[in-house]
């Protein structure tokens, strides 16, 4: 079995990559990908902690399945919003949607 | 097969679920009128509200309650009914009903209307679930039910570029903050081995891991509650969204985030205070409260448009309420909840008033409201009461809430008194910008066209213009004001203002009820 520390380290790296992506990317699709990477880090954490839980309770795995569903829902809504915006401004670049700054 | 009696305690939630499907079915059946869809939504929301009042044992509805007395305060799997949670359900349903009724006066939009009401009901359902969650994962999922519904709600018109931009910003921030919360939740799960909220009042096996997890959850929910430094999105979103949606976001979904913070942190803040961890969480909450109050107020001072000013003042209000969690005693939680009740009426009412003013052609700038007090006396008086309540002037509910809040911080003693002092200073600052608006509204009219944007009907119905319109006699000024801005909308605005004053003069029953609810909540967590 892979040691818990290595799993947590891996999910920590995933988290850092995701945060970096959210902060630097201006393309909406790449932003969504970065957010997904963070979500996957959280899912990995739940599974890792559940596998090493002293009680052997499978709740961590069930939470992971639920979170995968949540992530899919979120992406669907995000793509719908960016599609509607794309029809109006003709771009998926977040930096071009800045009319609101007064 | 689930036996029916097991579902009965969830009657308010089931009511909203049924209402959502009814609205969707009406849409399929080709019904797109606001009067029908809005009426159905408002009806179901009011039914759910009465059920919540019954569950709280409010006379005369207490006989209708379907919640077994033994369920209140004991965990039923992932569900935990508490009196405070049920009070919050009432708050959420009240603001949803308010928005549903006020939106009856919006322009017809065959495409968007069914979406709007269905999502409004779905978002409210998520809020109700947040209020009865006894499990961290269920709570965050319920927050996300509301979140996903409100992302779409902001951009539901689909043609308005500003609204869509607001929806996109809201979505990015919302999705990002959710994932941060879930990452924090995974660390908390690792530290405690369980996700039950009641477990957080014990010392975990790995306190530092739990602390990092709690901090991440606080950041994630901090985005939702618009705590400084996670507030940047809020102003753009409230500005770009339709005004009724802004009312719902500011008065509704923000309160949901605050209740989520209460449910997670009331036990945790106390544990980390006593377990020799140097008041880490209390200091974090207090610091966030101070930053939020101050930054919100200082930025509100410089705003030129009404909606952005209300958005910044809404941010600073969140800071006041967070004092309740930082102090973390029964009186402070009860006072923060009272402040939220006031906030539903004054923030919800104020955004609806902005929508009403826009309907008669008043521009977005604060200076556009100049002289409105003479032309639209009822709207202006109601709006003035809301502003006075936000500033915390006596005889309004906003004053009562702030008074109890600062008093509870002083009662807790020690460093918490700093929170009360900063809060008082901020209240003083806020009076400046509220007074500036009042001055504009009640300034004497300048010469020239008094109602340049208003069109002929509002000119004829205005008090100053009445001399030029012999067909419109004096007594009908109030009626024509209601007609020009929509009966439903004006009814909501006036009701909010009247309640603010009525509860501000006689707050005893509501304070007593909130104290009992907060006492049970603190004892439980």
Number of structural domains chain B divides into? 1
Tokens found for residue B414:
């020690």
Select the more confidently predicted residue: B2 or B170: B170
Q: How does DSSP assign chain A, residue by residue?
A: ---HHHHHHHHHHHHHHHHHHHHH--BHHHHHHHHHHHHHHHHHHHHHHHHT-TT--THHHHHHHHHHHHHHHHHHHHHHHHHHHHHHHS--BGGG--TT--
The answer as to whether B15 is a domain residue is no
The answer as to whether B262 is a domain residue is no
Q: Cβ contacts (< 8 Å) between A81 and chain B: which residues? A: 151-152, 155, 164, 167-168, 171
C-beta atoms of A94 and B171 within 8 A? no
C-beta atoms of A81 and B167 within 8 A? yes
The answer as to whether B121 is a domain residue is no
Helix (H) / strand (E) element for B80: namely strand B79-80
At residue B448, the pLDDT reads 47
Cis peptide leading into residue B229 (ω within 30°): yes
The set of residues, in sequence order, having a beta carbon less than 8 Å from that of A78 and lying 6+ positions away, is: A28, A32, B151, B171, B175
Domains of chain A: 4-91 (1.10.287.3510)
The set of residues, in sequence order, having a beta carbon less than 8 Å from that of B217 and lying 6+ positions away, is: B181, B184, B185, B188, B264
Predicted-complex ipTM score? 0.95
Percentage, residues of chain B above pLDDT 70: 92
* pLDDT of B73 higher than 60: yes
How many helices (H) and strands (E) would you count in chain B? Answer: 22, 2
Tokens found for residue B136:
């961290």
Q: pLDDT band at residue B68, thresholds of 50, 70 and 90?
A: confident
* pLDDT of B450 higher than 70: no
For the four alpha carbons of B341, B441, B303 and B99, in that order, the dihedral sign comes to positive
C-beta atoms of B151 and A46 within 8 A? no
Please, are residues B251 and B130 in contact by the beta-carbon 8 Å criterion? no
- Closest residue of chain A to B234, computed from CA coordinates: A100
How far B77 CA sits from the closest chain A CA (Å)?
Answer: 13
- Tell me if chain A has a CB within 8 Å of the CB of B195: yes
Which residue range(s) make up the domain with B415?
281-525
Helix (H) / strand (E) element for B75: namely strand B75-76
The set of residues, in sequence order, having a beta carbon less than 8 Å from that of B148 and lying 6+ positions away, is: A73, A74, A77
pLDDT digits (tens, 9 = 90+) for B85-143: 999 999 999 999 999 999 998 888 888 899 999 999 999 999 999 999 999 999 999 99
Q: pLDDT band at residue A101, thresholds of 50, 70 and 90?
A: low
Cα A27 to the chain's mean position, in Å? 15
Q: pLDDT band at residue B465, thresholds of 50, 70 and 90?
A: very low
The answer as to whether B228 is a domain residue is no
* pLDDT of B458 higher than 60: no
Q: pLDDT band at residue B278, thresholds of 50, 70 and 90?
A: low
For the four alpha carbons of B224, B230, B231 and B234, in that order, the dihedral sign comes to negative
pLDDT digits (tens, 9 = 90+) for B298-353: 999 989 999 999 999 999 999 999 999 998 899 999 999 999 999 999 999 999 99
Q: Cβ contacts (< 8 Å) between B171 and chain A: which residues? A: 77-78, 81
C-beta atoms of B189 and A45 within 8 A? yes
- Tell me if chain B has a CB within 8 Å of the CB of A23: no
Cα dist from B180 to A39, A60, B485, whole Å: 8, 17, 43
Backbone angles phi, psi at B507, to 5 degrees: -90, 0
At residue B77, the pLDDT reads 84
Select the more confidently predicted residue: A33 or B77: A33
Average pLDDT, chain B: 88
Average pLDDT, integer, range B358-380: 89
Q: Of B148, B168, B189, which has the smallest distance from its Cβ to A97's Cβ?
A: B168
The answer as to whether B157 is a domain residue is no
The answer as to whether B391 is a domain residue is yes
C-beta atoms of B172 and A94 within 8 A? yes
At residue B277, the pLDDT reads 61
Q: pLDDT band at residue B276, thresholds of 50, 70 and 90?
A: low
Tokens 């599609």, residue?
A: A83
How far A7 CA sits from the closest chain B CA (Å)?
Answer: 12
Q: Of A15, A49, A102, which has the smallest distance from its Cβ to B305's Cβ?
A: A102
| Ordered alpha helix ranges (H), B103-135 | 112-131
Q: Cβ contacts (< 8 Å) between A46 and chain B: which residues? A: 186, 189
- Tell me if chain B has a CB within 8 Å of the CB of A5: no
pLDDT digits (tens, 9 = 90+) for B237-249: 999 999 999 999 9
pLDDT digits (tens, 9 = 90+) for B182-234: 999 999 999 998 899 998 888 888 888 988 999 999 999 999 999 988 888 89
C-beta atoms of B239 and A99 within 8 A? no
The answer as to whether B397 is a domain residue is yes
Average pLDDT, integer, range B493-520: 94
The answer as to whether B105 is a domain residue is no
**pTM confidence score:** 0.91
C-beta atoms of B187 and A45 within 8 A? yes
Q: Which of A40-44, B57-61, B268-272, B460-464 has the lowest mean pLDDT?
A: B460-464
At residue B473, the pLDDT reads 45
pLDDT digits (tens, 9 = 90+) for B28-47: 998 889 999 999 999 999 99
C-beta atoms of A81 and B158 within 8 A? no
């Amino acid at each position: 079995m892979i040691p818990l520390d290595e799993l947590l380290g891996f999910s920590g790296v995933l988290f850092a990559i995701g945060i970096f992506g959210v902060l630097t990317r201006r393309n909406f699709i790449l932003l969504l990908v970065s957010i997904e990477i963070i979500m996957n880090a959280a899912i990995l954490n739940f599974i890792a902690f559940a596998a090493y839980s002293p009680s052997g309770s499978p709740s961590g795995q069930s939470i992971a399945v639920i979170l995968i569903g949540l992530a899919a829902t979120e992406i669907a809504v995000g793509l719908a919003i960016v599609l509607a915006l794309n029809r109006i401004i003709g771009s998926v670049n977040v930096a071009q949607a800045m009319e609101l700054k007064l | 097969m689930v036996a029916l009696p097991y579902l009965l305690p969830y009657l308010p939630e089931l009511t909203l679920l049924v209402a959502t499907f009814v609205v969707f079915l009406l849409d399929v059946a080709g019904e797109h009128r606001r009067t029908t869809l809005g009426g159905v939504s408002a009806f179901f929301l009011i039914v759910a509200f009465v059920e919540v009042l019954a569950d709280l044992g409010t006379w005369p509805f207490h006989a209708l309650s379907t919640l077994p007395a033994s369920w209140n305060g004991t965990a039923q799997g992932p569900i935990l009914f508490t009196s405070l949670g049920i009070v919050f359900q009432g708050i959420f349903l009240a603001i949803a009903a308010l928005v549903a009724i006020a939106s009856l006066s919006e322009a017809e939009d065959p495409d968007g209307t069914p979406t709007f009401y269905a999502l409004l009901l779905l978002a409210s359902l998520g809020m109700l679930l947040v209020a009865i969650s006894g499990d961290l994962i269920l709570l965050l999922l319920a927050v996300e039910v509301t979140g996903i519904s409100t992302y779409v709600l902001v951009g539901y018109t689909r043609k308005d570029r500003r609204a869509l931009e607001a929806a996109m910003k809201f979505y990015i921030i919302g999705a990002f903050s959710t994932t941060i919360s879930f990452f924090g939740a995974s660390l908390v799960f690792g530290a405690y081995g369980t996700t039950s909220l009641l477990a957080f009042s014990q010392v975990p096996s790995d306190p530092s891991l739990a602390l990092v997890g709690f901090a991440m959850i606080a950041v994630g929910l901090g985005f939702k509650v618009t705590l400084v430094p996670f507030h940047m999105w809020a102003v753009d979103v409230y500005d770009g969204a339709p005004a009724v949606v802004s009312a719902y976001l500011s008065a509704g979904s923000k309160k949901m985030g605050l209740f989520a913070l209460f449910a997670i942190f009331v036990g945790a803040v106390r544990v980390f205070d006593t377990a020799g961890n140097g008041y880490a969480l209390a200091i974090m909450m207090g610091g966030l409260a101070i930053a939020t109050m101050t930054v919100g107020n200082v930025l509100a001072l410089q705003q030129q448009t009404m909606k952005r000013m209300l958005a910044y003042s809404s941010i600073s209000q969140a800071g006041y309420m967070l004092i309740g969690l930082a102090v973390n005693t029964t009186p402070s939680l009860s006072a923060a909840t009272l402040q939220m009740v006031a906030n539903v009426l004054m923030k919800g009412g104020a955004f609806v008033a902005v929508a009403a003013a826009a309907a008669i052609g008043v521009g977005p700038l604060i200076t556009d409201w100049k002289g409105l007090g003479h032309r639209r006396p009822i709207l202006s008086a109601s709006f003035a009461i809301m502003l006075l309540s936000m500033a915390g002037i006596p005889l309004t509910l906003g004053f009562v809430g702030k008074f109890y809040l600062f008093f509870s911080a002083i009662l807790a003693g020690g460093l918490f008194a700093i929170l009360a002092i900063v809060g008082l200073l901020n209240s003083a600052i806020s009076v400046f910008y509220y007074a500036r608006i009042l001055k504009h509204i009640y300034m004497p009219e300048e010469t020239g066209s008094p109602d340049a944007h208003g069109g002929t009907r509002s000119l004829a119905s205005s008090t100053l213009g009445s001399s030029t319109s012999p067909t419109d006699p004096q007594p009908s000024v109030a009626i024509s004001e209601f007609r020009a801005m929509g009966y439903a909308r004006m009814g909501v605005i006036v009701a909010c203002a009247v309640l603010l004053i009525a509860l501000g003069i006689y707050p005893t029953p509501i304070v007593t009820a909130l104290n009992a609810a907060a006492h049970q909540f603190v004892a439980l967590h």
